[in-house]
């Protein structure tokens, strides 16, 4: 069964550094998402992406965040200048155009900002 893959599985970075989290969605999917889960808290929506542009974003997704689909397969989340509070598990998800299709999630990237 096709799956969403994310790399790296764990990223450690220093405060103020830029990080790029990478995702390869399921190949025929058209809708892409980033969610995050701070340790011990709920999974939160960050951003959705369709047709090469952001379709919706949460208030968490400020100017420090950006997303890109640089080629036909990858979907990236960039954090320009990381803060301690950015430490979280980041999940990529993708969905197809098919009606009633659920989101498929990747296994996540655990980001630790020191």
Partner 1 sequence: AQSVTQPDIHITVSEGASLELRCNYSYGATPYLFWYVQSPGQGLQLLLKYFSGDTLVQGIKGFEAEFKRSQSSFNLRKPSVHWSDAAEYFCAVGPNYGGATNKLIFGTGTLLAVQP
* Contact call for residues 32 and 75 (beta carbons, < 8 A): yes
Residues 13, 45, 69, 74: which binds partner 1 (CB under 8 A)? 45
As beta bridge partners, residue 33 has 48, 93
User: What is the rounded CA–CA span in Å between residue 58 and residue 97?
Assistant: 22
End-to-end CA distance of the chain: 37
By C-alpha distance, which of 3, 81, 89 is closest to 46?
Answer: 89
Measured at the CA of 83, the angle between CA 78 and CA 88, to 5 degrees, comes to: 70
Among 13, 74, 76, 107, binds partner 1 (CB under 8 A): 107
What are residue 72's phi and psi, to 5 degrees?
-75, -5
Of 37 and 64, which CB lies nearer to partner 1 in the complex structure?
37
CB of 61 to partner 1, least distance (A): 12
In the list 23, 61, 95, 111, the residue contacting partner 1 (rule: CB under 8 A) is: 95
Q: Which of residues 53-92 bind partner 1 (CB under 8 A)?
A: 55-56, 91
Among 14, 27, 41, 51, binds partner 1 (CB under 8 A): 41
If the CB atoms of residues 14 and 62 are measured against partner 1, the closer one turns out to be: 62
Residues at the site binding partner 1, with contacts judged by CB under 8 A:
4, 6, 30-31, 33, 35, 41-45, 48, 50, 55-56, 91, 93, 95-108
């Amino acid at each position: 069964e096709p799956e969403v893959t994310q790399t790296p599985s764990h990223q450690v970075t220093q405060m103020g550094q830029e990080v790029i989290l990478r995702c390869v969605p399921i190949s025929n999917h058209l809708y892409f998402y980033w969610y995050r889960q701070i340790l011990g808290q709920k999974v939160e929506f960050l951003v959705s992406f369709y047709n090469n542009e952001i379709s919706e974003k949460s208030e968490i997704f400020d100017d420090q965040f950006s997303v890109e689909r640089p080629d036909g397969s990858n979907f990236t989340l960039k954090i320009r200048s990381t803060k301690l509070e950015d430490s979280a598990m980041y999940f990529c998800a993708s969905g197809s155009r098919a009606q009633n299709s659920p989101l498929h999630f990747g296994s996540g990237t655990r980001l630790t900002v020191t």
